[in-house]
Amino acid sequence: MKIGNVDLGERPVLLAPMEDVTDTSFRLMCKEFGADMVYTEFVSADALVRSIESTQRKLHIVDAERPVAIQIYGRFPESMVEAARLCEEAQPDVIDINFGCPVKKVAGKGAGAGMLRDVPKMLAITRGVVNAVKVPVTVKTRLGWDQDSKIIVELAEQLQDCGIAALTIHGRTRSQMYTGEADWTLIGEVKNNPRMHIPIIGNGDITTAERAAECFDRYGVDGVMVGRAAIGAPWIFRDIKGYVRDGVLPAPLTVHERMEVIRRQLRESVARLDERRGITHIRRHLAATPLFKGLPSFRETRIEMLRAETVPDLLAILERIENTFLAGME
């Protein structure tokens, strides 16, 4: 699969853009575990144009994580075009436009998935960005605004006509947010539309290697994108890549190896930010990791873990978890 001149190979597995998750260190970690392409956190076009420092920091990429896409969102064509030009200066391999974020503070203001209610503006933004930069431009969006407006089959053709190099589709409407199950049938319909020639990447509920392989086989997508299932478990890319390639799961990492990944995330997060902000950042990964799911009598320790305020305290709790709750669970 190619996005412009970016060759991702056969059946690539991509890391989804996620706010407060896909920072540089996490992207690199997912890359090490086999992710074929990674995406930055969401970059606000308006904030970037206004030179907001925290937004500018999101443009930082390193060669080891390539190929990497910078994802931008906004509701005004002029600022989106200017933001795309600013992003291009950071030399990403791809610029991705976010027309899929469902959260109220984004979609409620007309950006992200909010654009699904204003397709002419969505297309104007897409054309403007494509014409403003030389790197490939892609789009990530959803099936439609709600159950009664699943417009993705027609919309995909319109976006392709704007000149995008690939399209990622999340199999839910905006009104669904992240509830219910992702519906891949329309993703497959887009892919199997003979008028479509750009790569189609499917997204939504890719939580296991087996599900990823099933989506490749059943719906014919060119690539799959993993989002929430990677939080606290970047090794999922190792599992998916191995299973899609060989038809069997690779030997699992040991509990200690997975705990070392968690500890590395903590150290890198603190090094990038500071102790307080680094620990706050890593809590989302600690809360989501499947390592700690379903452990008996874990509730009090989980609360203690998520309330820890210093690195030594948190490392001590993680060691206690490994030596007690996870002992003998290789």
pLDDT tens track for 259-299:
999 999 999 999 999 999 999 999 999 999 999 999 999 99
pLDDT above 90 as % of the chain: 99
Range of the domain at 147: 2-246
Beta bridge partners of 144: 150
Indicate if 30 and 54 belong to the same structural domain.
yes
What's the predicted TM-score (pTM) here?
Answer: 0.96
- Read off the pLDDT band of 108 (50, 70, 90): very high
Which residue do the tokens 């219910």 mark?
Answer: 180
- Read off the pLDDT band of 318 (50, 70, 90): very high
User: Which of 106, 13, 15, 29 lies closest to 261, judged by CA?
Assistant: 29
In the chain, the number of structural domains is 2
Indicate if 97 and 22 belong to the same structural domain.
yes
pLDDT of res. 69: 98
330 domain residue, yes or no: no
111 domain residue, yes or no: yes
Q: What is the DSSP letter of 160?
A: H
User: Which of 208, 210, 209, 190 lies closest to 199, judged by CA?
Assistant: 190
Check if the beta carbon of residue 151 is closer than 8 Å to that of residue 141.
no
- Of 222, 246, 270, which one is at a domain's C-terminal end? 246
pLDDT of res. 330: 66
pLDDT above 70 as % of the chain: 100
226 domain residue, yes or no: yes
Q: What is the CATH number of the domain that holds 67?
A: 3.20.20.70
In angstroms, rounded to a whole number, what is the distance separating the alpha carbons of residues 83 and 37? Answer: 22
Indicate if 18 and 152 belong to the same structural domain.
yes
- Of 200, 215, 246, which one is at a domain's C-terminal end? 246
Choose the catalytic residue: 87, 101, 162, 215. Answer: 101
Indicate if 150 and 200 belong to the same structural domain.
yes
Tens of pLDDT, residue by residue over 254-263, are: 999 999 999 9
Indicate if 270 and 238 belong to the same structural domain.
no
Tens of pLDDT, residue by residue over 61-74, are: 999 999 999 999 99
Indicate if 272 and 215 belong to the same structural domain.
no
Query: For the purposes of burial, counting CB atoms within 10 Å of the CB of 166, is it exposed (0-12), middle (13-18) or buried (19 or more)?
Result: buried
Q: Where are the alpha helices (DSSP H) in 133-226?
A: 152-161, 185-191, 209-219
Tens of pLDDT, residue by residue over 27-68, are: 999 999 999 999 999 999 999 999 999 999 999 999 999 999
- Sort strands 6-7 and 2-3 into parallel, antiparallel or unpaired: antiparallel
Indicate if 269 and 134 belong to the same structural domain.
no
Indicate if 217 and 318 belong to the same structural domain.
no
Indicate if 201 and 296 belong to the same structural domain.
no
Active site residue 101: yes
- Read off the pLDDT band of 328 (50, 70, 90): confident
- 148 Cβ contact list (under 8 Å, min separation 6): none
CB atoms inside a 10 Å sphere around CB 27: 25
Indicate if 189 and 160 belong to the same structural domain.
yes
309 pLDDT more than 90: yes
Q: What is the DSSP letter of 173?
A: -
137 pLDDT more than 70: yes
186 domain residue, yes or no: yes
The helix, strand and coil proportions of the chain, stated in percent and rounded to the nearest 5, come to 50, 15, 40
Indicate if 152 and 289 belong to the same structural domain.
no
Check if the beta carbon of residue 70 is closer than 8 Å to that of residue 43.
yes
329 pLDDT more than 90: no
- Of 203, 220, 246, which one is at a domain's C-terminal end? 246
Q: What is the mean pLDDT of the chain?
A: 97
329 domain residue, yes or no: no
Q: In the sheet where 68-73 sits, what is the strand order?
A: 13-15, 223-226, 200-203, 166-170, 137-142, 94-99, 68-73, 38-44
Question: Tokens at residue 317, please?
Answer: 């709790």
216 domain residue, yes or no: yes
Indicate if 211 and 106 belong to the same structural domain.
yes
Check if the beta carbon of residue 1 is closer than 8 Å to that of residue 9.
yes
Task: Give the SS3 label for residue 110.
Answer: coil
